[in-house]
Amino acid sequence: MLARIALSSLLVLSTGAALAADYKVGALTISDPWSRALPPNAPAGAAYFTVTNQGQAQDRLVGAASDVAGKAELHTHVKAGEMMRMQKVDAVDIPAGSEATFAPGGNHVMLIGLKRPLKDGEQFPLTLEFEKAGKVQVEVPVRADAQGGMQHHDHAHH
């Protein structure tokens, strides 16, 4: 019985570790990609991750694509009066020797025109395109227990 419990715990731990994969392209490391599980009728979603630049030169995230959505755009949040709203951006700088975080309430990849619901426990491919390092495909786990931060209530406006 104890062996079965230990094996079950080991499987849970190894599965969790597998979901926290890092992806490398050039001097960049993309870590902890994730997306929030959404209701079946949600028209848009978002992907989040951290990009660390171990290189000597700045790079830029210039595009994204995924087969789960009609299009993927780079977005950030800006303050308009007393309200925060999302705004499309052409690129996001990844400074040399630093990192850029893509998280709720900040930079993120907006997935517009979802072709299927984003369900807890699933994952989907996301291709990120960097100006210097090129393209890399990451697997984005979908989680119901999404990390903190500002909720994305304005997806329907895309």
> Is the pLDDT score of 152 beyond 70?
no
Residues 51-68: what's their mean pLDDT?
98
This prediction's pTM: 0.80
**Does the pLDDT at position 69 exceed 90?**
yes
For the segment 74-121, what is each residue's pLDDT rounded down to a tens digit?
999 888 888 888 899 999 999 999 999 999 999 999 999 999 999 999
- For 49, 104, 154, the CA distances from 150, given in Å and listed in that order, are 15, 5, 11
Contacts of 122 (CB under 8 A, 6+ apart): 141, 142
Give all strands (DSSP E) within 10-151, no chain letters.
Answer: 22-25, 28-36, 44-53, 59-65, 69-80, 83-88, 92-94, 99-102, 108-114, 123-130, 134-143
Whether the pLDDT of residue 145 is over 90: the answer is no
Q: What is the C-alpha separation between 54 and 22, in angstroms, rounded?
A: 14
Q: Residue 79: what pLDDT? A: 83
Q: How confident is the model at residue 137 (pLDDT cuts 50, 70, 90)?
A: very high
How many Cβ atoms sit within 10 Å of the Cβ of residue 49?
Answer: 24
Domain ranges in the chain are 22-146
Question: What pLDDT band is residue 43 in, cutting at 50, 70 and 90?
Answer: very high
CB atoms within 10 A of CB 138: 22
Task: Please tell us whether the domain made up of 22-146 is placed in CATH 2.60.40.1890.
Answer: yes
